[in-house]
Amino acid sequence: MSPMSDKLNVASSPHWRDGSGLAGTQKLWLLALLPAMVASVWLFGSHSLRILGLAVAFSVLLDALANKLIPSKDKTTNWSSVTLAVILAFLMPYDAPWWLILVGCFIMIVVGKKLFGGMGAYPVHPALLSYAMLLVSWPSRLDYTASLVSLDWGVKMVEPVRLVKTLGGSAEQVFYWQDLLLGKQVAGIGNGLVLYLLLGGLLLILIKQITWHIPVTFIIGNFLMATILYLVDPGQFASPLFYLLSGGTVFAAFFLATEYTTSPVNPVPMLIYGFLGGALLMIIRAFSNYTDGVVFTILLINLCNPLLDRIRPKIYGLEVASHA
């Protein structure tokens, strides 16, 4: 009857959509990681480019291959493997060999992500799962201090947290906070670039890709726990600000703990989750054998996520039994 009847597009409401698409979201994350990527290339030169390039290439290829074998709704075109690859690359020491990156990407994409059902289904952060497995398999290859021993940036070329751990709290005087902030500290190719990561993280909050809950409470948790430890034993522990600026604290607060799939979705659990993460990071740094506790902290709080997310807000508009 009507010429329009054949071509009208029908869908359920709402018809206005604000969402950027999955690929759009991931691209915004990459935009937020960009300052740190640029700083990393400026600091490490071609080494950083090599690691970033290899990680992205391996990840995307493995993702496409895995999707070909077992097709799922988690398409390669959603760019999630690129973001994960950059995050994994940031954790790598600057002399990481190609095979280490390949194994890392395989564990991250195939085991960590695809085997659990893809984006939205994995229980722990795939990049950190992969990094943790590399760390226990080849601890010497992932030793940041050993990897950077030949470089000299005019600062003490030892991981700050490690030096404090071995020499006691007074060792923090060796480091200037400006150096720590600008990323002149021994770490992976990206996770120690505090200022640039902070800028990217704030951008993520500003463009509403993440909310403030987890990063803010993560930092508060870390700061409080560090303050307590410092007050109890100033000889053994450095000042709270030192722990905030050294290693991957900021990276963890803004980019690792906030990963969508593995973090809580309700506001109150998010606050607890962030706080728990920050405090746990400090506890691991203080009492464990691992130097920078970021990886295991995030993996542990990831596992708490399903339990925390059971704290749910009260639903409005329900029929109450007494009314019936």
Determine the Cα–Cα distance for residues 45 and 34; give it in Å rounded to an integer: 15
Q: What is the CA radius of gyration of the chain?
A: 22
- Closer to other proteins by Cβ: residue 12 or 150: 12
Q: Least separation, in Å, of the C-beta of 81 and other proteins? A: 13
CA 296, chain centre distance (Å): 12
Which residue, 69 or 318, has its beta carbon nearer to other proteins?
318
Report the residue number, 211 or 239, with the smaller CB distance to other proteins. Answer: 211
CB of 308 to other proteins, least distance (A): 12
CA distance 248 to 193: 8
The three state secondary structure string of 150-215 is CCCCCCCCCCHHHHHHHHCHHHHHHCCHHHHHCCCCCCCCCCCCHHHHHHHHHHHHHCCCCCCHHH
Minimal distance, residue 2 CB to other proteins, in Å: 6
Residue placing its CB nearer to other proteins in the complex, 83 or 147: 83
Nearest to 232 by CA among 286, 190, 272: 286
- Shortest Cβ 10–other proteins spacing (Å): 4
CB 104 within 8 A of CB 134: yes
| Residue whose CB is less far from other proteins, 20 or 145 | 20
d(CA 129, CA 261): 14
Look at the alpha carbons of 30, 31, 33, 34 in this order and tell me if their dihedral is positive or negative: positive
Binding site for other proteins (CB under 8 A): 1-2, 4-5, 7-22, 24-25, 72-75, 78, 80, 118-120, 208, 211, 260-261, 264-268, 312-320, 323
CB of 270 to other proteins, least distance (A): 9
| Residues 131 and 114 sit within 8 Å (Cβ to Cβ) | no
How near is the Cβ of 203 to other proteins at its closest, in Å?
15
| Of residues 136 and 321, the one with the C-beta less far from other proteins | 321
